[in-house]
Chains A and B, each alone.
Chain A
């Protein structure tokens, strides 16, 4: 610590060079923040999945509907604690760009299945007593400036009403929050009983999209999944049951191998920055050969000289890196830049910690060779070059 002043003076000797290097490191870590947030937005749903929840869907594909009558049969299967279902509504609010999910659910069992959605008790009560009632997540409510009591018209491209109209109107009775920051609060949920009575009888009445079920004992999940699929084997609608996490992960993988793409880009960025910074450090050490010789001549050990150079590199990367991470944090905190496509666009503390670790690693990597060169300097050679 007592050498901090010396390290600092070395850094501020060539102010222009130091600030240019600092800025490129800063940029690299701003980019790191963005890419982490994008990755989180695309694959973050996996972390939300409950370990004790299974998703049951039609074996052929999720667009095939399942009979609502399956619910009673699933409830009788040993190990099953609670069963609820959702159906993809595919509605549009004013403009197709305003995308968010809306699904009909059975309120009581849905809320009990998803304790991560927090709804005020009086709002829950209002939902249970309002047939046309709907609840929406905080994110979407804020986005469209909705408040409780609003009437929300939604156009459905899939579901026509018995009277032929495709416009469904809902009364907003509640706004829910997520228990954790990473819980998605963009969807809207409305009542299945209203939906089922109101939809055209010839198209899908009595059919639902997929089931979510809770198992009594998470250790038994695989066994319960097998029992469910067995129950409906050889029926007209066979099922495929899997843990919620696997289901969500398969979705993310349908988009493409995001983690790999992000890692590749980050790799290219860091390699580039490593070169720029490494070059600066090497130059700085070369210029100071004589001084380093003097330091050694007045009694600094090889280790101390090496430490000085390494500390200088680390100070540079940590300073630039932390500023960059801070900037990224501030920008990402403003929310999803695409307006609804990426509801989970956020910079998690975990990724922030990884970034902070990387700043130090980058410092060691760029400082290592110049530091070793400095350590190996022979006093006589170094002084002769002055």
Chain B
């Protein structure tokens, strides 16, 4: 017991001396801290793009909501369903119902060009035709400004994300699609989900404007409960009048976000890993020079009877402390610079824009701190071992 206390107090003493001498080495120490902060900031910053995109895509889908497409279609864009088919789907077992009828919305999905505010160049903005029940099928959708569109009229409501990213979508303005003018009568939010990037109108009006006859592209349905999904799916896939693909909304959007999320995450980790190698060299440099500058001190302590282990641990602690300061700085920087940074990008599956905000989540910050710790440990270990191995007599002679 006393041996342990003794050992700990040795570590404490050496660490204290090391930390007190930091101001003399402030250049080197600062370069280590900032180097590690750079790594963490880039890591957290890049991954926050992926986290934000994924959050926007998956916020949309609750597990008790289903989406039905033509079999073989991997997105609404290339799907097609007739009016009769959408009725069969609405009447399938498992679909929740209200006094007004089943909670299902047959929808159309097209794209229109609108200039992106940030660049002024055309972007593909999704325009969705929905039925009455659409707002009940997606229960997070709320009108935040103006009013809902009237059925049967050329009126649209705009998601708050779309209104922010693309020009000319405020309440009261008018968009021109083909030969028709469509006044914007309201804005809506959807709990940060992908619907916020869309423009909505009555499906029937959109069918007429696009000469689509009486066809749709997808059916969104709310189920009585998440557990009813399998029964609903089986009923549709075994119905010989239908040839459809049934997915949970959550899985459908998760699938659509996967390619981009994976790409960004891979690139982010790759870039940060390369930078981390550079930062490790920086940390090694600093700690080696710290050891070199304190050769005599360390030798004196060793001559006084301080143990090798205590020397190693206290030098590691010093390096770790610098790394953690760097990690905290980098994480804070990334949070200040990137959290809630609004932008939009192309979702290749639906060929249209998704508005989203970068998200610096607590998990990412923890990840950043773990990286900083690892860099600090690697950067401190080799110099600490060298310090512990110093031949005492030779080191003292350097006096």
- Known contacts A158-B78, A249-B121; A20/B284 CB under 8 A: yes
Q: Are A279 and B285 in contact (CB under 8 A)?
A: yes
A254 touches B263 (CB 8 A): no
Q: Select A276's contact among B123, B179, B278, B351, beta carbons within 8 Å.
A: B278
A157-B74, A272-B39, A276-B282 given as contacts; is B124 within 8 A of A283 (CB)?
no
Which of these binds chain B: A27-35, A173-181, A307-315? Answer: A27-35
**A273 touching B278 by the CB < 8 A rule?**
yes
Summed over the interface, the residue pairs from A and B with CB atoms below 8 Å come to a total of 140
Is A63 in contact with B77, judged by CB distance below 8 angstroms?
yes
Pairwise interchain contact A31-B274, C-beta atoms closer than 8 A: yes
- Check B124–A268 contact: CB distance below 8 A: no
> Interface readout for B321-365 with A: 1 if CB under 8 Å, 0 if not?
000000000000000000000011110000101000000000000
Residue A166 interfacial (CB < 8 Å):
yes
Check: A38 CB closer than 8 A to any chain B CB. yes
Q: Is the CB of A17 within 8 A of B289?
A: yes
Do A17 and B288 touch (CB < 8 A)? yes
A17 and B285 form a contact (CB under 8 A): yes
Q: Are A38 and B267 in contact (CB under 8 A)?
A: yes
Pair B31/A269 contact, Cβ less than 8 Å: no
Beta-carbon contact of B35 and A276 below 8 Å: yes
Least CB distance, B368 to chain A, in whole angstroms: 14
Complex CA distance for A246 and B275, rounded to whole angstroms: 35
Return A351 CB to nearest CB of chain B, in Å: 16
**Minimum distance in angstroms from B44 CB to a CB of chain A:** 11
CB < 8 Å neighbour of A34 from B122, B124, B271, B285:
B271
Do A60 and B346 touch (CB < 8 A)? no
Q: B31 to A157, Cβ gap below 8 A?
A: no
A338 to B264, CA, bound (A): 12
Contact A283 to B289, CB < 8 A, known contacts A60-B178, A158-B78, A253-B121: yes
- Residue picked from A28, A256, A276, A341, most chain B C-beta under 10 Å: A276
Picked from A16, A157, A249, A272, the residue with its CB within 8 Å of the CB of B278 is A272
Q: Are B28 and A31 in contact (CB under 8 A)?
A: no
The answer to the question of A9 belonging to the interface, with a C-beta cut-off of 8 Å to chain B, is: no
**B141 at the A interface (CB under 8 A):** no
- Tell me which residues from 129 to 161 in chain A have a Cβ below 8 Å from any Cβ of chain B: 155, 157-158
B-side contacts of A16, CB under 8 Å: 288
**A318 at interface, CB cutoff 8 A:** no
Interface residues on B, range: 35 or more
Q: Is B72 an interface residue (CB 8 A)?
A: yes
A279 touches B28 (CB 8 A): yes
Contact: B41 with A268, CB < 8 Å?
A: yes
Interface of A is mostly: helix
What are the residues of chain A within 8 A of B31 when measuring CB–CB?
Answer: 275-276, 278-279
A61: interface (CB < 8 Å): yes
A23 cross-chain contacts in B, Cβ below 8 A = 277-278, 281
B78 touches A157 (CB 8 A): yes
Shortest CB-to-CB span from B390 to chain A, Å, is: 15
Nearest Cβ on chain A to B39's Cβ, whole angstroms = 7
Q: Which of B74, B121, B271 contacts A35 (CB 8 A)?
A: B271
Structural contact, B35 and A275, CB atoms closer than 8 A? yes
With known contacts A61-B113, A338-B263, A271–B38 Cβ distance under 8 A = yes
Contacts A30-B274, A272-B39 hold; do A254 and B281 have CB atoms under 8 A apart?
no
Q: B279 at interface (Cβ–Cβ under 8 A)?
A: yes
Interchain CA distance A211-B230 in the complex, whole Å? 46
Q: Kindly state whether residue A24 has any CB partner on chain B within 8 Å.
A: yes
In the bound complex, residues from chain A placing their C-beta under 8 Å from that of B178 are 60, 236, 238
How close is A188's CB to chain B, nearest CB, in angstroms? 18
CB under 8 Å from chain B, chain A span 9-23:
16-17, 20-21, 23
Question: Which residues of chain A are within 8 angstroms of B41 by Cβ–Cβ distance?
Answer: 268
In the assembled complex, A250 has its CB within 8 A of some CB on chain B:
yes
Whether, in the assembled complex, B27 has its beta carbon less than 8 Å from a beta carbon of chain A, the answer is yes
Q: Which of B268-321 contact A (CB under 8 A)?
A: 270-271, 274-275, 277-279, 281-282, 284-286, 288-289
Chain A residues engaging chain B, CB cutoff 8 angstroms: 16-17, 20-21, 23-24, 27-28, 30-31, 34-35, 38, 59-63, 90, 96, 155, 157-158, 166, 234, 236, 238, 240, 246, 249-250, 253-257, 265, 268-269, 271-273, 275-276, 278-280, 282-283, 338, 341
| 11 contacts across the A-B interface (CB closer than 8 A) | A16-B288, A31-B274, A34-B271, A35-B271, A60-B112, A157-B72, A246-B121, A253-B119, A253-B121, A256-B343, A341-B259
The 8 A-B pairs with the shortest beta carbon distances in the complex, nearest first, are A272-B38, A24-B278, A276-B282, A250-B121, A27-B278, A279-B31, A24-B281, A275-B31
- Name 17 extra pairs, CB < 8 A, besides A23-B277, A158-B78: A31-B275, A60-B112, A62-B124, A63-B111, A157-B74, A234-B179, A250-B122, A250-B123, A253-B123, A265-B46, A265-B271, A268-B275, A269-B42, A272-B38, A272-B282, A283-B289, A341-B259
